[in-house]
Structure 1
């Protein structure tokens, strides 16, 4: 490899690192439900917020009384947990948003139906 090729490789690697760093630096962290946390009637919490792929949602809740389940649109609309869904139960769950639609429910009996669910679109 000639000296010019090495310079090109270094410049390209530097640009790649800058892009990755910029994307990481722009990721935001949101506490779902703000001060109230992940609880009943949280369904409207995402309204008016702009989410990006890579942002982190933090679900804070009493782990004895609730959970967080990542579901698909059908699971969200029906308040049913599809087979193979990821269930979080720590009471302080951090979930990174994927690009597109992201759906979350509490699958304890009656909780999702009481508004303990959110749909988040990440660009």
Structure 2
């Protein structure tokens, strides 16, 4: 009976590991990496950064803005983003932005001509890291769970009837 309980314990551990492998952690992105939130060296710097780093941005992930000097982080509409429209809202460094919903977001600096010089970027939140994955990996996890549970059931009932 003790070996049977040991086997069940190992099966529970295997199932837990398989489930944890399917979970994803939320990510904090440092905007601009080592440059931080500053007037960039070219007007495409943050667009390139956002495209490279945020292709899999998920609900629950955060953007951390770090800067020295005078800058503002402002979330704006697409029209304000396109026109670098000055808005009155802003935040001090460091600032952490966690998008509240899926969708597109537009971020600019409203100080002087910083936006026109490229201190802006847009990104899209595609889903939630808390949602179950819809890939083949989730099917594999469910299949593994079913296999473990089936094996446990067969082992227990066949083992009990053989004694």
**Quick check: TM above 0.5?**
yes
Distance in 1 between residues matched to 2:89 and 2:111, nearest whole Å: 14
Runs (4+) off by over 3 Å: none
Distance in structure 2 (CA, Å) of the matches to 1:103 and 1:94: 15
Distance in 1 (alpha carbons) for counterparts of 2:47 and 2:118: 5
Cα offset for 1:26?
A: 2.4
Structure having the higher Rg? 2
Given candidates 54, 73, 76, the residue that maps to 2:78 is 73
| Structure-1-length-normalised TM-score | 0.70
Q: Residue 34 of structure 2 aligns to a residue in which SS?
A: helix
Aligned residue number for residue 103 of structure 2: 100
Given the alignment of the two structures, is residue 117 of structure 1 paired with residue 123 of structure 2, yes or no?
Answer: no
Report the counterpart of residue 63 of structure 2 in structure 1: 57
Instruction: Give 1:47 shift.
Output: 1.2
TM value normalised by structure 2: 0.54
Gaps of 5+ in 2: 1-22, 41-45, 127-163
CA deviations 1:46-84 (Å, max 9, x no partner) are 01232111210000011x4211111111111000035xx
Q: Which runs of 5+ in 1 are unaligned?
A: 1-21
Asked if structure 2 preserves the Cα contact closer than 8 Å seen for 1:104 and 1:119, the reply is yes
Deviates more, 1:33-42 or 1:51-60: 33-42
Q: Number of aligned residue pairs: give it.
A: 97
Provide the aligned C-alpha RMSD in A. Answer: 1.9
